[in-house]
């Protein structure tokens, strides 16, 4: 069967097993037929993969409501681009399409950050639990104040649900100058014991750069997703000048400094979020980190 779109690759995301017999994946038509090019995550957590394959490596994760630009469709996955330019493939079943105008308006209106490890969501009328049932720490939402201790979460297409106001904090980018290193470390210590997960960005599992990015985002500080890009953020500081809250970089690893001699990080070798020392005579000393120390970067104007 010939198609005028066969050469740009998108057709193969719509038609499964092309040949004498095929079926159409109708779930992708909103993205393909109307060339929407924009969407948001409709599940509380979706893996962002390096390839459009079920067993592909996890590059990162997308949280509920995350606005994305959508591109090529292939084998039930969509190529997506995050607002910071990060790329990957996401299962199309968990992305809802929206127009360019809706995308711009929605992305600009994200005004709340989920501060609870997980926060339940409720039907706006019945106040009963509703899909996605809960959202993770770090989820950014467009909310409006509602009655009885709730906030109304507004989604494109006039859909909405409720979340308890005590589980969210406002995103106030103008208050970044008041953030201190001690605040960052205190926030990170909330997650001590959370397991390590490659590509993880939630309280179900963090990788090293995911922990750093998510904690900074809690205070309106946005940095790239991966360690190789995070190392370009802020100002380099000498090792003897390290302060609490500085970012410490090692060989393919990153964490927050606690003073000059300790680090809080999500460690694959350590099993998850933990505190270690870079001082040889301490019981939690990590010789490998001490040896592989690369540099420290300061992302705050005051620590």
Tokens representing 130 are 């509703």
Q: Are strands 247-250 and 235-237 parallel, antiparallel or unpaired?
A: unpaired
The 10 Å Cβ neighbour count of residue 96 is 19
Please identify every residue annotated as catalytic. Answer: 208, 253, 265
Q: Which residue has the tokens 């927050």?
A: 256
Q: Which of 223, 244, 254, 216 is nearest to 303 (CA)?
A: 244
The DSSP symbol for 175 reads G
- Burial code of 252-291, b = ≥16 C-beta within 10 A, e = fewer? ebbbbbbeeebbbbbbeeeebbbbbbbeeeeeebbeebee
* Residues in CB range of 19: below 8 A, 6 or more apart: none
Angle subtended at Cα 68 by Cα 145 and Cα 150, rounded to the nearest 5 degrees: 15
With H, G, I as helix, E, B as strand and everything else as coil, classify residue 176.
Answer: helix
Considering only CA atoms, give the Rg of the chain: 21
The DSSP symbol for 256 reads E
Cα separation, 11 vs 120, in Å, equals: 38
Q: What are the two backbone dihedrals, phi and then psi, of residue 97, each rounded to the nearest 5 degrees? A: -75, 155
Tokens representing 30 are 């909103």
Does 5 sit behind a cis peptide bond, omega within 30 degrees of 0 on the bond before it? no
- List alpha helices for 15-69, DSSP H: 29-32
């Amino acid at each position: 069967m010939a198609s005028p779109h066969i050469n740009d690759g998108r057709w193969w995301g719509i038609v499964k097993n092309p040949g004498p017999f095929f079926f159409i994946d109708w779930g992708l038509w909103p993205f393909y037929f109307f060339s929407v090019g924009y969407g948001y995550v409709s599940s509380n957590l979706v893996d962002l993969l390096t390839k459009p394959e079920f067993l592909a490596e996890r590059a990162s994760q997308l949280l509920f409501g995350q606005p994305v630009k959508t591109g090529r469709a292939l084998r039930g996955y969509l190529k997506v681009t995050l607002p910071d330019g990060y790329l990957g493939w996401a299962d199309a079943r968990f992305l809802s399409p929206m127009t360019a105008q809706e995308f711009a308006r929605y992305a600009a209106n994200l005004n709340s950050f989920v501060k609870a490890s997980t926060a339940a969501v409720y039907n706006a009328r019945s106040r009963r639990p509703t899909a996605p049932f809960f959202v993770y720490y770090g989820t950014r939402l467009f909310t409006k104040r509602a009655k009885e201790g709730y906030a109304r979460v507004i989604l494109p297409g006039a859909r909405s649900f409720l979340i308890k106001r005590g589980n969210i904090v406002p995103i106030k980018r103008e208050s970044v100058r008041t953030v201190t290193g001690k605040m960052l470390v205190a926030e990170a210590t909330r997650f001590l014991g959370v397991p390590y997960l490659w590509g993880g960005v939630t309280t179900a599992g963090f990788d090293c750069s995911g922990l750093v990015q998510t904690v900074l985002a809690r205070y309106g500080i946005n940095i790239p997703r991966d360690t190789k890009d995070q190392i370009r953020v802020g100002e380099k500081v000498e090792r003897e000048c390290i302060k609490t809250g500085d970012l410490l970089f090692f060989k393919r690893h990153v964490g927050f400094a606690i003073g000059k001699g300790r680090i809080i990080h999500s460690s694959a070798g350590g099993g998850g979020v933990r505190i270690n020392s870079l001082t040889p005579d301490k019981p939690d000393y990590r010789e490998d980190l001490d040896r592989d120390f690369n540099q420290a970067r300061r992302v705050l104007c005051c620590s």
